């Protein structure tokens, strides 16, 4: 490789630096964040010897954005360098700890010049996989946002309306459930709850789709709301009710966003060629499977083997050894979204797969705590998923967890 490119990205402009194999600066320039600036960048790369057979690799501190998308569309290798790693490389070139946009761009170019094999190129995922990644991450963010608002509302209701919490907090979806939000809209204060009848609650339950035990649930909810409680002064209670109504509006919008993004994510995921393979694994459905695909992509060359995928997901342990000291601990640096999905995946697999359940029970019997045993199961499932995707085969319970002569699945 003759030339290496580093780009210091910002919202308004980008600093570009090109260095040769000896570390000498070939060219540098500040470009605008628009098509004209991107055209200037391509001219710089072309003048430095860029070609279709040997494109100039580019290092940048972000894996997303319009500039990154445009660079990936040209087919050139793009490396997303962690800003913390780039800061440590910067100290190798200056003990005075000076910093500038041009200096950062030069540092990024030198990272590729000296340590390119140590960094992972952005994967060549298909357009559909990239779209699924956008939707799945947005859906996950929306769920987290909905949960934060629900927790804020729960904290507020404890201040003046504990009977409402007693009626709904232990039910499915808690305060985010449609029936809880409908009842709170009609009775935002304890004073309003006194006038709420069982017939009204019954109508709400029917409207939100409840079909079983409707009358009994309506009576139970009404009785809970009419239970005597300590009360705030009248004006203070009304003020709290207005605040609860405001949070309820935000919660309704968050729930609608979750529903819309969930439908869009599922629809896009069903159109992907890997849909049948991924959802064949126990514990993975449309949404959770889409989240897994969003983080691992569909570029089969991204991970050299199953161990690389497990390290990326954080399920594989890490060993720290020095002298006579050797400690094996869980991995902290990982893809947090994939690790979060893996926690749910492993938990669901305990019910869907007898082999997964036996594997988990065996780890618990060996002394692992719940989190460690679940993480070990996630590690096993990732290896199975890697094999299925690499070979294009559907999950087979007997091959994944073959029984031993005693009848238990083979230990990992």
Looking at per-residue pLDDT, the higher value among 263 and 1 belongs to: 263
Give the integer Cα–Cα distance in Å for 108 and 197.
67
Question: pLDDT tier at 155 (50, 70, 90 boundaries)?
Answer: very high
- For residue 197, count CB atoms less than 10 angstroms from its CB and return exposed for 0-12, middle for 13-18, buried for 19 or more: exposed
Give the integer Cα–Cα distance in Å for 251 and 256.
9
Both tokens assigned to 232:
């705030």
Exposure on the CB side of residue 64, measured as CA atoms within 13 A: 4
Question: pLDDT tier at 68 (50, 70, 90 boundaries)?
Answer: very high
**Coil vs helix vs strand at 339:** helix
Give the integer Cα–Cα distance in Å for 407 and 49.
64
Contacts with 161 (C-beta within 8 Å, 6 or more apart), sequence order: 189, 190, 193, 229, 240, 244
Radius of gyration of the chain (CA): 27
Same domain, 101 and 56: yes
Give the integer Cα–Cα distance in Å for 156 and 322.
51
Q: Confirm whether 407 is domain-assigned.
A: no
Calculate the CA 74 to chain-centre distance. 28
Could you tell me which of 135, 120, 208, 141 has the C-alpha nearest to residue 172?
Answer: 208
Same domain, 137 and 237: yes
Same domain, 289 and 391: yes
What is residue 318's predicted lDDT score, i.e. its pLDDT?
A: 87
What is residue 407's predicted lDDT score, i.e. its pLDDT?
A: 63
Question: pLDDT tier at 232 (50, 70, 90 boundaries)?
Answer: very high
Q: Confirm whether 411 is domain-assigned.
A: no
Summary mean pLDDT of the chain: 92
Q: Confirm whether 412 is domain-assigned.
A: no
Q: Is pLDDT above 60 for 41?
A: yes
Same domain, 239 and 191: yes
Least confident of 66-70, 177-181, 294-298, 329-333: 329-333
Q: What's 25's domain CATH number?
A: 3.30.420.40
Q: Confirm whether 7 is domain-assigned.
A: yes
Same domain, 338 and 302: yes
Same domain, 253 and 140: yes
Highest mean pLDDT out of 191-200, 208-217, 248-257: 248-257
Question: pLDDT tier at 408 (50, 70, 90 boundaries)?
Answer: low
pLDDT tens digits for range 87-129: 888 877 777 777 888 989 999 999 999 999 888 899 999 999 9
What is residue 14's predicted lDDT score, i.e. its pLDDT?
A: 93
Question: pLDDT tier at 412 (50, 70, 90 boundaries)?
Answer: low
Q: Please provide the distance, in angstroms rounded to a whole number, between the alpha carbons at the two ends of the chain.
A: 43
Domain boundary among 217, 235, 267: 267
Give the integer Cα–Cα distance in Å for 214 and 201.
9
Q: Confirm whether 231 is domain-assigned.
A: yes
Q: Confirm whether 410 is domain-assigned.
A: no
Question: pLDDT tier at 58 (50, 70, 90 boundaries)?
Answer: very high
Could you tell me which of 1, 26, 199, 197 has the C-alpha nearest to residue 115?
Answer: 1
Same domain, 294 and 394: yes
- 25 forms bridges with which residues in the sheet? 19
Q: Is pLDDT above 90 for 84?
A: no
Q: Confirm whether 409 is domain-assigned.
A: no
Domain boundary among 61, 88, 118: 118
Calculate the CA 394 to chain-centre distance. 25
What is residue 337's predicted lDDT score, i.e. its pLDDT?
A: 95
Same domain, 251 and 288: no
Domain that holds residue 217: 131-267
Same domain, 85 and 146: no
**295 neighbors 335 (Cβ within 8 angstroms):** yes
Same domain, 173 and 72: no
Domain boundary among 208, 239, 267: 267
What's the number of domains the chain is made of? 3
Both tokens assigned to 68:
């990154």
- Predicted TM-score of the model (pTM): 0.88
Same domain, 257 and 296: no
**399 neighbors 367 (Cβ within 8 angstroms):** no
Q: Is pLDDT above 90 for 271?
A: yes
Exposure on the CB side of residue 350, measured as CA atoms within 13 A: 16
Share of residues in the chain with pLDDT > 70 (%): 97
Same domain, 103 and 194: no
Task: Say how many C-beta atoms besides its own lie within 10 A of residue 113's C-beta.
Answer: 19
pLDDT tens digits for range 322-368: 888 888 888 888 999 999 999 999 999 999 999 999 999 999 999 99
Q: Confirm whether 87 is domain-assigned.
A: yes
Question: pLDDT tier at 263 (50, 70, 90 boundaries)?
Answer: very high
């Amino acid at each position: 490789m003759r030339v290496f490119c580093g780009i210091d990205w910002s919202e308004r402009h980008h600093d570009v630096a090109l260095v040769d194999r000896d570390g000498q600066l070939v060219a540098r320039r500040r470009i605008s964040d628009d098509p004209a600036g991107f055209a200037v960048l391509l001219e710089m790369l072309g003048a430095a010897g860029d070609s279709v057979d040997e494109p100039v690799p580019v290092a940048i501190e972000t894996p997303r954005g319009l500039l990154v998308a445009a660079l990936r569309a040209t087919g050139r290798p793009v490396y997303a360098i962690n800003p913390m790693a780039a800061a440590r490389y910067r100290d190798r070139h200056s003990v005075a700890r000076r910093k500038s946009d041009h200096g950062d761009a030069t540092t990024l170019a030198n990272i590729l010049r000296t340590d390119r094999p140590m960094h992972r190129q952005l994967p060549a995922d298909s357009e559909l996989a990239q779209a699924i990644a956008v939707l799945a991450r947005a859906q996950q963010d929306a769920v987290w946002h909905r949960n934060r608002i629900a927790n804020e509302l729960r904290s507020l209701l404890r201040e003046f309306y504990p009977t409402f919490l007693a009626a709904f907090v232990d039910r499915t979806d808690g305060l985010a459930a449609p029936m809880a939000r409908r009842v709170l809209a009609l009775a935002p204060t304890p004073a309003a709850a006194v006038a709420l009848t069982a017939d009204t609650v019954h109508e709400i339950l029917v409207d939100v789709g409840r079909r079983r035990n409707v009358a009994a649930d309506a009576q139970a909810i009404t009785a809970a709301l009419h239970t005597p409680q300590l009360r705030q002064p009248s004006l203070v209670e009304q003020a709290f009710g207005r605040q609860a109504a405001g949070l309820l509006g935000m919660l309704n919008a968050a729930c609608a966003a979750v529903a819309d993004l969930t439908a869009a994510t599922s629809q896009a995921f069903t159109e992907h060629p890997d849909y049948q393979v991924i959802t064949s694994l126990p514990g993975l459905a449309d949404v959770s499977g889409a989240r897994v695909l969003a983080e691992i992509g569909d570029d089969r060359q991204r991970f050299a083997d199953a161990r690389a995928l497990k390290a990326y997901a954080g399920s594989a342990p890490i060993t720290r050894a020095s002298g006579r000291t050797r400690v094996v601990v869980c991995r902290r640096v990982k893809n947090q979204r994939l690790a979060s999905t893996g926690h749910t995946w492993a938990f669901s697999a305990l019910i869907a797969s007898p082999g997964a359940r036996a594997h988990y029970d065996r780890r618990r019997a060996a002394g692992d705590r719940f989190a460690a045993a679940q993480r070990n199961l996630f590690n096993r499932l990732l290896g199975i998923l890697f094999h299925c995707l690499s070979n294009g085969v559907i999950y087979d319970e007997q091959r994944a967890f073959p029984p031993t002569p005693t009848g238990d699945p083979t230990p990992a």
